[in-house]
With several copies, the nearest count.
Chain A
Amino acid sequence: MKIKVQTEPFDAGAEITALHAGNPAIGAVTSFTGYCRDEGGQLEALELEHFPGMAESQLTAIAQEANTRWPLQGITIIHRYGKLKPGEPIVLVVTSSAHRRASFEASDFLMDFLKTKAPFWKKEHPANPSQEASWVESKASDDADADRWKR
């Protein structure tokens, strides 16, 4: 299990390769990359604040929960913080398993939980300098997505 909270960009391809390397029991690797959108040109930058220490421990706890639910061979989670421009990657989740269903479901689960349980907050800096920066509000749809996994 690899959990990183960092300012630097990441290389999704390298993480996929690393998670699969040397383990021929793996038949399936799913990756999810979340990017900063430009919101139709409205966004200048996204500022990501996080709670150091708790961000890592929450991501670890979420990954451990995924490991109890699916027969995974590996999990990588990388979440960036700091000021990101449109087009830049924000978050990466990679999971590996013998079969595709476990890998798909675990990645989907990790993203849903990460959105609602990991202490990160986004502030949008608008392209129009006369507009003030504003905090992104949590979405009811994210809570609904996370509720899909309740048991």
Chain B
Amino acid sequence: MSALELDISLPLIRHKVMKLLYFAWVRERVGSESETRDIPVDVTTVGALKTWLSSIDEGYAYAFENPQIIRVALDKTLAEDDAPLGDAQEAAFFPPMTGG
């Protein structure tokens, strides 16, 4: 039966699991340095992921209040807001870097 087959496969495509890392004041505002979350399947880009995270609670909303200044690395490589999440396992969020 095709309806049953669809039901079985649905949980596999409705979300993806990602490890999320936060650094510096993004970490402090979010209140966590690392977590694993189910990401909805319609969240397909870095920018959409920021928007989705900012809706979680007040801490996330504060961390992402100026989403354009938050830098993102997918699997430890910098990615712009329009970059697709693709099959990245990890996304890290942080302020502009101030090393050196």
Contacts and interface: CB of A to CB of B under 8 A. Distances in A.
Direct contact of A and B (CB under 8 A): yes
Interface of A: 34, 48-51, 53-54, 57, 79, 90-91, 100, 111, 114-123, 135-138
Given A54-B92, A117-B78, A135-B24, A91 B73 contact: no
Interface of B: 21, 23-25, 73, 76-78, 92, 94-100
Nearest to B75: A54
Given A49-B23, A51-B73, A54-B76, A118 B100 contact: yes
B89 to A, nearest CB: 13
Main secondary structure of the interface of A (DSSP, over half): mixed
Contact of B99 (A57, A114, A135): A114
Given A49-B24, A117-B78, A135-B24, A122 B99 contact: yes
Contacts of B92: 51, 54, 119
B76 A120 contact: no
Contacts of A117: 78, 97
Contacts of A138: 95-98
